[in-house]
Structure 1
Amino acid sequence: MHLPPPDHTLSPRTGYTRAHWEAAADALLAAVEPYATEDRALYHLPGDRESWSGRLSDGLEGYARTLLLAAFRRDETALQRYADGLEAGVFGVWPRIEDRSQPLVEAASIALALRLTREVLWDRLDEGVRQRAAAWLGDALTAEPWPCNWELFPVTVGGFLQSVDHEPEAAGKAIDRGLERIEQWYAGDGWYTDGAGRAFDYYNGWAMHLYPVLHAWFADDSRLLNVYGSRLQAHLSDYARLFGGDGAPLHQGRSLTYRFATTAPLWLGALTGHTPLPPGETRRLASGALKYFLERGAVDSGGLLTLGWHGPDSTVLQGYSGPASPYWASKGFLGLLLPPEHEVWTARELPGPVERADAVTPIAAPNWLLQSTRTDGLVRLHNHGSEDVRYDPYYTRLAYSTVTAPSSWYDNSVIVGDDPSRTGIEPLGVGDGWAASRHTAGGGARVTSVVLVRGAAEVRAHLVSGAEPGTPVRVTGWAAEGGVRAEVVPVFGLGESLTGVTGDGDGLFVALARLTAEPDPLPLEDVVSVRVEGAGEIHVRWSAGPEVRLRVVDGAVVSGDLVRVSGGGVGADE
């Protein structure tokens, strides 16, 4: 991909400016064009993978997601090609929108693009084409979505159809129904779960915030914009901390092949005026993520986005991932809606949170603890509250980072017996430098876990309850490669192999851990010391900081120096 020369005066951190974003958008659009069908209604991108929805749906996905990119770019030449494809698509080429069908997803991208470009695309279509297109989209108003972020696709379609006065009553009902349904998943402080349970991930940004805020913004609905905009603003306070110094997003959750779609909520805050971030920080974080992926093989030699993370990588894919799925990355170009003279493009880049100072940030809603270090630019997420409805390594490991990926050998896990699973995660609280949870593993055993962090160092303690005496317990740490150093040091209950066994009653297992890119860090034992006394009382002393005392019991962490944490809530210990 050919990009302009870097501008390190305006953008000292990344060198990227609006011109780089425009060039990247143009290159991505040019690369997909040869794969359009003759009538331009479908884009069949190359590859031997087909999603579970089939080839026709995958072709529609290619059309819809790249149309969204053309809409953000406001490329009238490209948009005319998509207008031709729209006409062919609604006259019998595209599959119908049915309950829980992939075309419902793509209808939202098409509707959003049409709303963005109404005067240069929709208004120029023949009346008959507009009627057929509205009728095709109209099926989204009554189609039943999956009970997750899909609830917002009828909202987005309904917003467009209402704006063109097509079935306004039905459109209004679809909007109200979808917005009402997502309320049950709002967890507070700007965080949503992606449906029932505790699935916290990037769908917060590229779906749960994006669609309601854009809907309210388009509709000029000050009441809704105040509700959803204030949630977005709160979310961005945490979200900005999820990017490493090299621009990498945290490697956690599903659909990671969307890559720099992670930047969408950053731009959304600037676009609607609901952001706590200075303009120069917004652009630095967004440009950092785009640059991170473009420099690491996200685009192949033909200019196409690959199915993967850096380059092709099947481990980050789901059954619904087809050849065109990565083009939801188009959402990352939302910032192009901001005019060139907007301060988000003209302000000098400012450092992101990880570049300013070491920080440990508790996030209450997902029960996460973020640990970032300025010297190496690493961000680590200690996960004590997020899981998918099934065991999934991208949701259920104890920790994630901007430089590691879940491994096949069950990194960041407590393996009870031969069972590495972590299910039924119960958040027990998060606070200043600590997080705790309980989960089920090993055929019904209960594991209560607490992590304490300072700098890059971690103390991990696990209490295993309900296991048969003599059950082996193994603790694993970070999976690191490529110049990043991972360490795990046994402290209590574990041998050099990081394996111990349960006895009669509960078993306590304590280890030190660290993930760092520093070339010559101090030995972990010089950074933190831990001793266990009496009935499992743990004493933690940091080399630069006070001693912390805590005791872990089944489903609780009790200490006079921490807070009391239990299944019944969190409160100060008296």
Structure 2
Amino acid sequence: MMPPVATPSENRELSPFTGWTRGHWETVADELLLAVRPFASPRRGLIDLPGPRPSSSGHRSDGLEGYARTFLLAALRVAGAHGEDPHGHLARYAEGLASGTATDRGPDGWPRISDVPQAIVESASVALSLRLTRPWLWDALDDRTRQRAVDRLLPALGPSPVDNNWWLFGLTVAGFLQDAGIETDLARRTIDRSLARIDEWYRGDGWYSDGAGRSFDHYNGWALHLYPVLHAHLGGDRELLERYGPRLRAHLDGYARLFGADGSPMPYGRSLTYRFAAAAAPWLGALTGYSPLTPGTTRRLASGAMRHFLDRGATDDRGLLTLGWHGPYEPVLQDYSGPASPYWASKGFLGLLIPPSHPVWTNREEPLPAETGDAVTTLAPPCLLVQSTAADGLVRLHNHGTGYAAAVDDPCYARFAYSTGTGPTPADGTLPDNHFALLVGGGHTARGPVEPEGSGPGWAASSHTPCPGVRVHSLTLAHGRAEVRAHLVTGAPEGTQVRQTGWAADPDGPTAQLQPVQGYTVRTASPSGPTLQGPATRTAALHGTTGPGPDTLFVALASLTAEPDPAPVTALAEVGTSGRTLTVTWQDGTTSVRTCGPPWS
């Protein structure tokens, strides 16, 4: 019999926002690890969880994913407790390592990297787990098991088959091998090559693109910053820390603004089912000293994110993390998702490596940026505008510079706006939220590849080509909870229909408003299906047509708020236009003047 997992009492003196302490994190880690045990293979080499299987890698790959990602959680739990392991987690993973590497056949055998590329991803979690627990697991293994494990890991040191954050999986395997004194020359070459590759994607101010193009999202924190900085920290490499640590600090300055007062990370980008992995980078900043956040804010952010999901059904009645956001929700899955994919949320437990006496655990929780006042923040490299309001704790992200190269019209990348309280609507033919489109050929145009065209205090701009010969220049201005959305359509024939949609509002969620200012003649509202926030939404839309000249300007006012009985958005801003120039007088009397379309001024 395993000892029961006792849930600590909340401590609202130390943690006035979440009530959570380090003990809660340890308890949740144990509960998640105990819940997956019934799904282990006979000798624990695979953990094959139930659930949808969008991935084509197969059951054996899914089982390795279950082993590797939960092994990482066990490693963080035990390493953070300096080897104390009352639930016997490591013994099970040591047995699984021996059986899984012994063969690629039978009920326990791991697939080989040469056969299943996904095994490269999981090799990184295995290697990092071995590095974290080396005194208690690796050093206690017999030589034959160690050699078989090395044989399975070594192929990960080759060139990455995917030209994005996958380069860092080889780095992570190499870091373990280097520490263990195995193939050190090859490990060093792999580390240098991997870091050189991601350096090519660094865009400044703490932001990487996840590969070529403009793929900006959570992978900045849970991969592109995590692996290099943690590798340098674990290896005591001051030179690397001084190279990559300041990038992490710069990233966290804006990243912390993407969490709502309810703890929600911004549902923007792919792999959202990793959920509270979003807390990995803030924990890493506290662990290494490269953070602009106070210890109390760091813990409030991380505990808030964890509670946000656990309090909203992220685990099922068996205690398993589901494929989705709050609960199961298949539209956020990718073709590489498997039943164990959500367990990369294990990265969110990185804070357990920080000693219990550290201020991040002992200082009183402090509010998030979203709770300290209204703010509009420009993140220049990805060309994102982050708008938060303290009255309701909502955060909205206005997207003028990112897209995922592998899926041009992906709802999690291609919408003009996202928030911690809404959508996005799925790509299944329902009305897309926060979208501007030409209505041609019986359908609507996709946004297409986005080209940023500038950003500054309170504004961001971009352009895209929705169809041949037509260019759309887009501008967002934000102040308080008010948004001005402007689009200059150039090259479209006279009479071309256009449509601007607003926020996808859940009946029990925030209030969405959308009002025409110029160019639109009709306003409608239609059901827009389920989103990760709820089973039913309605989305407003404005309709207009292009005029006879070379370009037509369309302008709207929008708002999203959780305030009760909000004033109409038309009371928050007055918009005047002269040609392509907008003059906006906000409710507090301040004025913004911007031109839509080049030259930006």
Fold shared by both chains (TM-score > 0.5): yes
Letter in 1 for 2:500: V
Q: CA deviation at 1:110?
A: 0.4
For 1:434 and 1:3, how far apart are their aligned partners in 2? 46
2:333 counterpart residue number: 317
Residue pair 2:47, 2:64 contacting (<8 A) in 1 also = yes
The question of 1:485 aligning with 2:519 is answered no
3-state SS, counterpart of residue 312 of structure 1: coil
For 2:215 and 2:247, how far apart are their aligned partners in 1? 18
Letter in 2 for 1:398: F
Letter in 2 for 1:546: T
For 1:545 and 1:325, how far apart are their aligned partners in 2? 49
For 1:225 and 1:295, how far apart are their aligned partners in 2? 36
1:423–1:167 CA distance, 2 compared to 1 (3 A): same
2:583 counterpart residue number: 539
For 2:153 and 2:196, how far apart are their aligned partners in 1? 21
**1:150-549 residue pairs with structure 2 within 5 A?**
150-389=166-405, 390-407=408-425, 408-417=430-439, 418-481=443-506, 482-497=508-523, 498-504=542-548, 505-533=550-578, 535-549=579-593
1:88 counterpart residue number: 99
Deviations 1:23-61 (A, max 9, x none): 100100000011000010000101242521111100000
Deviations 1:269-316 (A, max 9, x none): 111111111111000000000000000010111000000000000011
The question of 1:550 aligning with 2:594 is answered yes
Residue pair 2:465, 2:471 contacting (<8 A) in 1 also = yes
Letter in 1 for 2:587: S
For 1:362 and 1:402, how far apart are their aligned partners in 2? 17
1:78 counterpart residue number: 89
Q: CA deviation at 1:6?
A: 1.5
Deviations 1:424-476 (A, max 9, x none): 21101111111111111145421101111110001111001111211101111
3-state SS, counterpart of residue 503 of structure 2: coil
1:571 counterpart residue number: none
2:539 counterpart residue number: none
For 1:168 and 1:253, how far apart are their aligned partners in 2? 36
Q: CA deviation at 1:532?
A: 2.3
Q: Which of 43, 49, 55 pairs up with 1:45?
A: 49
The question of 1:98 aligning with 2:102 is answered no
The question of 1:31 aligning with 2:42 is answered no
Deviations 1:216-271 (A, max 9, x none): 11121111100111100111101111100000000100000000000000110111
- Give the paired residue count: 556
Residue pair 1:464, 1:508 contacting (<8 A) in 2 also = yes
2:534 counterpart residue number: none
Residue pair 1:259, 1:329 contacting (<8 A) in 2 also = yes
3-state SS, counterpart of residue 451 of structure 1: strand
Letter in 1 for 2:91: Q
Letter in 1 for 2:56: W
Q: CA deviation at 1:21?
A: 0.5
Structure 1 segments (4+ residues) deviating >6 Å: none
The question of 1:126 aligning with 2:142 is answered yes
For 1:543 and 1:470, how far apart are their aligned partners in 2? 35
Deviations 1:303-353 (A, max 9, x none): 000000000000110011000000000000010111211111111000110
1:444–1:59 CA distance, 2 compared to 1 (3 A): farther
Residue pair 1:415, 1:442 contacting (<8 A) in 2 also = no
Letter in 1 for 2:577: V
Q: Which of 59, 66, 74 pairs up with 2:63?
A: 59
For 2:474 and 2:115, how far apart are their aligned partners in 1? 41
Letter in 1 for 2:111: P
For 1:452 and 1:187, how far apart are their aligned partners in 2? 24
Residue pair 2:421, 2:509 contacting (<8 A) in 1 also = no
Residue pair 1:248, 1:288 contacting (<8 A) in 2 also = yes
Deviations 1:50-100 (A, max 9, x none): 521111100000000000000000063111100000000111111111388
3-state SS, counterpart of residue 254 of structure 1: coil
For 2:320 and 2:355, how far apart are their aligned partners in 1? 27
For 2:248 and 2:489, how far apart are their aligned partners in 1? 39
For 1:378 and 1:551, how far apart are their aligned partners in 2? 28
Residue pair 1:441, 1:447 contacting (<8 A) in 2 also = yes
TM-score (norm 1): 0.95
1:560 counterpart residue number: none
Letter in 1 for 2:41: T
For 2:332 and 2:163, how far apart are their aligned partners in 1? 22
For 1:338 and 1:375, how far apart are their aligned partners in 2? 33
3-state SS, counterpart of residue 412 of structure 2: helix
3-state SS, counterpart of residue 396 of structure 1: coil
Residue pair 1:472, 1:500 contacting (<8 A) in 2 also = yes
1:561 counterpart residue number: none
Residue pair 1:98, 1:143 contacting (<8 A) in 2 also = no
1:53–1:444 CA distance, 2 compared to 1 (3 A): farther
Letter in 2 for 1:413: H
For 2:154 and 2:512, how far apart are their aligned partners in 1? 53
TM-score (norm 2): 0.91
Structure 2 unmatched runs, 5+: 79-83, 104-108, 524-541
For 2:593 and 2:146, how far apart are their aligned partners in 1? 68
For 1:143 and 1:431, how far apart are their aligned partners in 2? 39
